[in-house]
Amino acid sequence: MRRDHLAGLGDGVGFALGTELVCLDLDGCVSPQGVLHDHAAALLAAVDGYAEYSPAGGLHVLAHAHPALPANSQRAGRVELLRRGLVTVTGAALPGRILEPARGEDVAAVWARMAAPVPPPLSPPHATAGSLDVDRLLRAAAALRNADRFFALWRGEVDHHPSPSEADFSLCRHLHFLLGPQPDAIDAAFRASGLYRRRADNWHRCAHRGPPPLSYGQLTVRCAIACGGPTLSRPGGPS
């Protein structure tokens, strides 16, 4: 397979995976403008090996097998590890990628992180949440016309936003509508979301030296409130 691939003879055919090679399959991870979604860019940054555009508008990353990888095909989030079956080889390689399959140990390390159990949602800190009831908040969000957008952000999905920071801001705007201009309540609600779990350290980093000094989270909440707009809120949260 390697000789045929390097000679350009593998385009558009089905390659049978076996004991030597595996494939990481990422469907729908490329925007119409050709921009990789965040999770695809992060995976490629960690795995240096042959990657090409797949027929499904995603990516295929070929890698050497490794004993630490599962013996059968598995899925972790938006990435599927293929161990058996046919993979279509398009030959549409990503620019700058090497022609050799990725090292098995690199893929095994990345897969171990992706397949790790997801921690349960964080509870809002009582010191700032006051009487905020997250279940009540989510029930109110479910009744909104744009509930699907809210819950995509709540789960931590950022694919439909130009950057993770803009996704953070968008969720804070949703929370402002639900909770009103209450910075502590918005902050507490955000910390219960999947977006917070994605980048918890970033939420607390210093983003404005002041005076007063502000964390990235505090600054994002302030900006969301400063935009104004209508709200559903009563004191203490959605009714």
| Rounded Cα–Cα distance for residues 239 and 234 (Å) | 7
**Whether 105 and 15 share a structural domain:** yes
25 shares a domain with 70: yes
Selection from 27, 41, 53, 26 nearest residue 162 by Cα: 41
Regarding whether 133 and 71 lie in a shared domain, the answer is no
Average pLDDT over residues 95-114: 88
Query: In the chain, pLDDT over 90 holds for what percent of residues?
Result: 39
Domain contains 58: yes
H or E segment to which residue 71 belongs: none
**Predicted confidence (pLDDT) at residue 235 exceeds the cutoff of 60:** no
Give the alpha-carbon dihedral of 107, 109, 111, 115, to 10 degrees.
Answer: 180
**Following DSSP, what letter does each residue of 113-155 receive, concatenated?**
HHTSPPPPPPPPPHHHHTT--HHHHHHHHHTSTTHHHHHHHHT
Domain count within the chain: 2
In a domain, 133, yes or no: yes
Give a yes or no: residue 239 inside a domain: no
Check whether 123 has a pLDDT greater than 60.
no
Is residue 233 one of the residues assigned to a domain? no
What pLDDT band is residue 119 in, cutting at 50, 70 and 90? Answer: very low
Structure tokens at 103: 């090292």
- As a 3-state breakdown, the chain gives helix, strand, coil percent values, each rounded to 5, of 40, 15, 45
26: closest CA among 159, 180, 176? 159
User: What is the pLDDT, as a whole number, of residue 5?
Assistant: 47
Residue 231 lies in a domain: no
Both 81 and 107 in one domain: the answer is: yes
97 and 130: one domain? no
Both 155 and 220 in one domain: the answer is yes
Which whole number is the average pLDDT over 37-51? 88
Residues 100 and 144 in one domain: no
User: 210 versus 228: which is more confidently predicted?
Assistant: 228
Q: What is the pLDDT at residue 13? A: 67
135 & 110 share domain: no
Nearest Cα residue to 174 out of 203, 200, 145, 202: 145
Rounded-to-integer distance, Cα 156 and Cα 165, Å: 12
Domain that holds residue 158: 126-226
Last residue of a domain, one of 80, 114, 148: 114
Transcribe 77-106 into DSSP letters.
TTEEEE-SSEEEE---BPTT--SSPBPHHH
132 and 204 both lie in a single domain: yes
Q: Are residues 85 and 157 in the same domain?
A: no
Check residue 127 and give its pLDDT.
Answer: 33
Read off the pLDDT band of 81 (50, 70, 90).
very high
Q: What is the pTM of this model?
A: 0.48
145, 155, 68: which is closest to 108 by C-alpha? 68
Q: Select from 114, 135, 162 the last residue of a domain.
A: 114
236 lies in some domain: no
Q: Is residue 235 part of a domain?
A: no
For residues 57 and 99, state if they share a domain. yes
Report which DSSP code applies to 57: S
Contact at 8 Å (CB) between 216 and 226?
no
pLDDT the model gives residue 131: 60
Rounded mean pLDDT, 207-220 = 82
**Residue 154 belongs to some domain of the structure:** yes
Same structural domain, 52 and 14 = yes
